[in-house]
Amino acid sequence: MTPFSAIPDGLLARACERFRRADRFAYHYARGKLGGDAIFAELLRRGLLPARPDVLDLGCGQGSLFAWLLAAAEQHADGRWPADWPPPPQPVRLRGVELMPRDVWRARQAFGADHPLVRVEQGDMNAVDFGRCDVVTILDALHYFDHDRQRQVVRRIRRAIGPGGLFVTRVGDEAAGWPFALSTWVDHVVTFLRGHRLPRLYARPLADWRALLQQEGFAVESLDMNGALPFANVMLVCRALPEDAAPAIA
Ligand X SMILES: C[S@@+](CC[C@H](N)C(=O)[O-])C[C@H]1O[C@@H](n2cnc3c(N)ncnc32)[C@H](O)[C@@H]1O
Closer CB to ligand X, 6 or 100, in the complex: 100
Q: CB neighbours of 89 closer than 8 A, spacing ≥ 6?
A: 49, 50, 51, 52, 53, 69, 72, 73
Which segment (94-102, 107-115, 174-182, 240-248) binds ligand X by CB under 6 A? 94-102
Pairing state between β 233-240 and 166-172? antiparallel
| Complete edge-to-edge strand list for the sheet that includes strand 233-240 | 118-122, 93-98, 54-58, 135-139, 166-172, 233-240, 218-224
- Of 54, 56, 52, 50, residue with least CA distance to 157: 56
58 vs 110, beta carbon nearer ligand X: 58
Q: Is residue 124 part of the contact set for ligand X (CB under 6 A)?
A: yes
Which region, judged by CB under 6 A, interacts with ligand X, from 82-90, 139-147, 215-223, 232-240?
139-147
Q: Kindly state the smallest distance separating residue 170's Cβ from ligand X, in Å.
A: 8
The residue among 100 and 117 lying less far from ligand X, judged by its C-beta, is: 100
Q: How far apart are alpha carbons 118 and 166 in whole angstroms?
A: 19
**Only segment of 4-12, 16-24, 123-131, 206-214 that touches ligand X (CB under 6 A):** 123-131
Print the binding letters for residues 25-64 with ligand X: x by CB under 6 A, - otherwise: --------x------------------------xxxx--x
When asked if residue 100 is in the footprint of ligand X (CB under 6 A), the reply is yes
The contacts found for 150-153 with CB under 8 angstroms, 24 or more apart, are 150/202, 150/204, 150/212, 151/212, 151/216, 152/126, 153/58, 153/125, 153/126
Of 1-9, 138-146, 215-223, 226-234, which segment contacts ligand X by CB under 6 A? Answer: 138-146
Rule CB under 6 A: say whether 145 interacts with ligand X: yes
> Binding of ligand X at residue 144 (CB under 6 A)?
yes
Q: Rule CB under 6 A: is residue 246 a binding residue for ligand X?
A: no
Candidates 70-78, 93-101, 109-117, 219-227 — which segment interacts with ligand X by CB under 6 A?
Answer: 93-101
User: In this structure, are residues 67 and 30 in contact, taking their beta carbons and an 8 Å threshold?
Assistant: yes
Report the amino acid identity of residue 209.
W
CA of 110: how far to CAs of 14, 106, 118, 204, in Å? 12, 6, 10, 34
Residues 64-83 that bind ligand X (CB under 6 A): 64
Examine residue 125 and tell whether it contacts ligand X (CB under 6 A). yes
Gap between the Cα atoms of 63 and 186, Å rounded: 20
Residues that bind ligand X (CB under 6 A): 33, 58-61, 64, 97-100, 103, 124-126, 139-141, 144-145
